Chains A and B, each alone.
Chain A
Amino acid sequence: MNRKQFLGRYGEERAADYLKDLGYEIVERNWRSRIGEIDLIANENGRIVFVEVKTRSGSDFGHPFEAITLEKVARMRRLAADWCAVKQVSGIKVRLDAIAVLVNGGKVSIEHLKQVF
């Protein structure tokens, strides 16, 4: 595992902890289908929340959210549909969220955007 992958994994851990603290139940981690991967899937009182996590150390290359493009959001929606098909669930409430994890000299800060489309 290289440094970048390690940082990404670390960010996802922190994001999962953060969601658990908020009372979300983590349903899946790194769920994959043939078109890609969803970092976190959580259940908030019956609503399924699909979460994209972006992690950065330092902000020299812009805000982590700036790396979430419209294409990425569109793919997340297709992945969410895939997940529902695989799990054979329908008629549920869903939401797409984005979480930014900023690691800066030992300090970790988390930003959470709900309903990002």
Chain B
Amino acid sequence: MTLAKAFAVSLLGLSGTIIEIEAEISSNLPSFVLVGLPDASLSEARDRVRAAAHNSGLALPGRRVTVNLSPASVPKRGSIFDLAIAVAILAADGKIPASSVSNFIHLGELGLDGSLRAVEGILPAVLAAKQSGWASVIVPIQNLAEASLVEGVKVLGAGNLAQVARFHGARLQENNLLTAAVAEPAEKTSEPAVPDFADVIGQDEAVEAAAISAAGAHHMLLIGPPGAGKTMIAERIPSILPPLTNDESIEVTALRSIAGRFRKSGSLAMSRVRPFEEPHHSATLASLIGGGAGFPRPGLVSLAHQGVLFLDEAPEFQRQFLESLRQPLESGEVLVHRSAGVARFPARFQLVMAANPCPCGNFAGKARACVCASSARMAYLGKLSGPLLDRIDVRLRLQPVSPAQITLARLGALQIGRSSAELRERVIQARQRAKQRLAGTPWEVNAQVPGAYLRRHLQIAKDVVAPLNLALDRGTLSMRGYDRCLRLAWSSADLAGRSQVQPEDVAKATLLRGGDGVTSW
């Protein structure tokens, strides 16, 4: 046979296209032609495949080899096609049965020695294969755990090209077989340690605020002097969020997969812990929002999907980045436009921002004097624009922890009554309560509920909302602020296990909401 086909997947963002790889061997002097819009790293596949095949005991034919990647109009990149190109050629050369090869999707990069190497984006590629109706996929052995997360597809792992060829029926001397994947949902044995709220001294108000934010998935802004514990509290929020569901975890793992996160940990297995991403303020816009040269890649906002995006020293970030957060905050996704196409990355995260009250950091402290000019103070927090702050329900000012509290804690005299496990249990129950209340609506958590729906459908006793109505009448509370108070009051009630909002919930909400602007309070 001089013509054979194999199949692989080309990814653009999270969505994949099945690529048909045709190989033709014609009787002419040896050459290797690769057509079908390959990028530079894919064009190099020619040399990798030739060497890998030779070193696997399956030398390519001494003839002209033409490989076509179709549909030719879809841009393709990377080394994920190596294996499929190699098996297509070997099938065209009659070294392995073409009928067996075309029953599988082949994914993976080849080394010159014939080894099969892990690649980025295996999970979304296998998902795409499943959606296109493919039943079996062959992947590099290091990607096996990740690929096996997809249910309903037979996933096989291979360590080198020779194993794959032998699996398809090639006659080769050695006899080590393909390792068949048991498609068990690979529960990771050692989850990374997440810090616990039990370590936080004092700051009961802030811990309560964090719990309410977690219950309603409210975005949060913490303003306080250095050492008040802003970062400590933010880092601990994932520890009280409900665990990821199966579908959420697959989505999160898919994003990590295309970002190449497996290179850090060796392999990607399913994690139940919600992501926590903490970009430094010097990060580029493309690394935060998503981007890349030619081909779109997910940014940190997408890696924080279903988890927490923490911006420490938020006013230090480029204004352009802070403003570009508005799209994902609004729609829960990011569109990245590049020459190869438009990729849609999910980015539904809980935003937690921390800021000093002023450039010197001491404005809130009672004991320490602030040396900043008032104009500098205005400019500093003014970087957080109105439209951005509009989307943030909880804005809390933290006071520094007093030396007395620290001493008491050191002596063990302070009661530590709130471990993360405890808080998390309350948050899970609060979210369930909200979910039941919002059954039949497109929303699941309080932060998503629009004001109009809140006011019309979720009745609160008149005397309970009376203080809010009064403030609204007096003009000290805006309509938006009013809605934010209602959302927070519901989250507070959910967290306390109440089915109705009580006056104390409204009071808490008013406290957590802060002012309408940042600089005004």
Which of A's residues lie within 8 Å of B, judged by CB? 59, 62-66, 68, 73, 98, 100, 111, 113-114, 116-117
B30 touches A63 (CB 8 A): yes
Contact B29 A68 (CB under 8 A): yes
- The smallest C-beta distance from B32 to any residue of chain A, in angstroms, reads 10
Which A residue sits closest to B54, measured CB to CB? A62
Stretch at the interface among B1-9, B56-64, B149-157, B180-188: B56-64
Known: A100-B62, A111-B62. A66 touches B28 (CB 8 A): no
Q: Which of A59, A98, A111, A114 contacts B59 (CB 8 A)?
A: A59
Per-residue CB proximity of B42-76 to A under 8 Å, as 1/0? 00000000000010000111110000000000000
Partner of B62, one of A65, A73, A114: A65
Give every chain B residue within 8 A of A64 (Cβ-Cβ): 62
Bound CA span A85–B191, Å: 81
Specify the chain B residue showing the minimal Cβ separation from A63: B62
Please name all residues of chain B whose beta carbon is closer than 8 Å to the beta carbon of A116 when the two chains form the complex: 28-29
Q: Do A63 and B59 have beta carbons less than 8 Å apart?
A: yes
Chain A residues with CB under 8 A of B28: 113, 116
Q: Which residues of chain B come closer than 8 Å to A113, judged between CB atoms?
A: 27-29, 63
Residue of A nearest to B28 (CB): A116
Chain B proximity of A101: nearest CB distance (Å): 12
Closest residue of chain A to B60 (Cβ to Cβ) is A63
| Nearest CB of A to B143, in Å | 31
Per the bound structure, the CA–CA distance linking A117 and B27 in Å amounts to 11
| Interface contact A62-B29, CB-CB below 8 Å | no
How far is B31's CA from A117's CA once the two chains are assembled, in angstroms?
12
A114 CA to B26 CA, complexed, in Å:
11
Complex alpha-carbon distance, A80 and B42, angstroms: 39
Instruction: Please state if B29 and A73 are interface contacts (CB–CB under 8 Å).
Output: yes
**A12–B63 Cα gap in the complex (Å)?**
21
On whether the beta carbons of A62 and B59 are closer than 8 Å, the reply is yes
Q: B27: nearest residue on chain A (CB-CB)?
A: A113
Q: How large is the interface on B (under 10, 10 to 19, 20 to 34, 35 or more residues)?
A: 10 to 19
Q: What are the interface flags for B1-41 relative to A under an 8 Å C-beta threshold, 1 for contact and 0 otherwise?
A: 00000000000000000000000000111100000000000
Contacts of A59 in B (CB 8 A): 59
Using CB atoms, name the residue of chain A closest to B61: A63
Q: List 15 A-B contacts (CB under 8 A).
A: A59-B59, A62-B54, A62-B62, A63-B30, A63-B59, A63-B60, A63-B62, A64-B62, A65-B29, A65-B63, A66-B30, A73-B29, A111-B62, A113-B28, A113-B63
Given the known interface contacts A59-B59, A62-B59, A65-B63, the answer about A98 and B54 at a Cβ–Cβ threshold of 8 Å is no
**Neighbouring A residues of B62 by C-beta, 8 Å:** 62-66, 100, 111
A113 to chain B, nearest CB (A): 6
Nearest chain-B residue to A68 (Cβ)? B29
The 6 A-B pairs at the shortest CB distance, nearest first, are namely A63-B62, A65-B62, A66-B30, A65-B30, A116-B29, A68-B29
How far is it, in angstroms, between the C-alpha of A73 and the C-alpha of B30 when the chains are bound?
Answer: 12
For A68, the chain B residues whose CB sits under 8 A away are 29-30
A66 to B54, CA, bound (A): 13
Chain B residues with Cβ below 8 Å from A73 are 29
CB distance from B65 to the nearest CB of A (A): 11
Residues from chain B with a CB closer than 8 A to the CB of A111 are 62
In the bound assembly, the distance between CA atoms of A57 and B62 in angstroms comes to 15
Q: How far is the CA of A117 from the CA of B29 in the complex (A)?
A: 8
Identity of the chain A residue whose Cβ is nearest the Cβ of B59 in the assembled complex = A59
Interfacial chain A residues near B29, Cβ < 8 Å: 65, 68, 73, 98, 113, 116-117
Measured CA separation A12–B185 after assembly (Å): 62
B107 to chain A, nearest CB (A): 28
Q: Nearest chain B CB to A89's CB is how many angstroms away?
A: 26
Chain A neighbourhood of B59, CB < 8 A: 59, 62-63
Q: Report B190 CB to chain A, min CB distance, Å.
A: 46
How many angstroms from the CA of A114 to the CA of B60 in the assembled complex?
20
Residues of chain B lying within 8 A (CB to CB) of residue A65? 29-30, 62-63
| Distance of A2 Cα from B60 Cα, bound (Å) | 30
Which A residues are in CB contact (< 8 Å) with B63? 65, 113
Residues of B within 8 A of A62 (CB): 54, 59, 62
List residues of B (293-324) whose CB comes within 8 Å of A's CBs.
Answer: none
Bound form: Cα–Cα A62–B60 in Å: 9
In chain B between 324 and 359, which residues have their CB closer than 8 angstroms to a CB of chain A?
none
What distance in Å separates the Cβ of A60 from its nearest Cβ neighbour in chain B?
9
Report B-chain residues with C-beta under 8 Å of the C-beta of A63: 30, 59-62
> Of all chain B residues, which has the CB nearest A65?
B62
Smallest Cβ-Cβ distance to A98: which chain B residue: B29
A116 to B54, CA, bound (A): 24
> What is the distance, in angstroms, from B515's C-beta to the closest C-beta of chain A?
76
Query: Nearest CB to that of A100 among chain B residues?
Result: B62
Provide the bound-state CA to CA distance between A73 and B61, in Å.
19
A72 to B458, alpha carbons, bound, how many Å?
Answer: 84
- Bound: A44/B54 CA distance, A: 36
A59 to B57, CA, bound (A): 10
Known: A63-B62, A66-B30, A66-B62. 10 other contacts (CB 8 A): A62-B59, A62-B62, A63-B30, A63-B59, A63-B60, A65-B30, A65-B62, A100-B62, A113-B27, A113-B29
CB closest chain-B residue, reference A67: B30
**How near does chain A come to B60, taking the closest CB pair, in angstroms?**
8
Closest to A116 in B: B29
Contacts of B30 in A (CB 8 A): 63, 65-66, 68
Shortest CB–CB separation between residue A71 and chain B, in angstroms? 12
Interface residues of B in 201-233 (CB under 8 A from A): none
User: Across the interface, which residues of A come within 8 angstroms of B61, CB to CB?
Assistant: 63
Q: Which residues of A contact B60 (CB under 8 A)?
A: 63
Q: CA separation between A68 and B30, bound complex, in Å?
A: 8
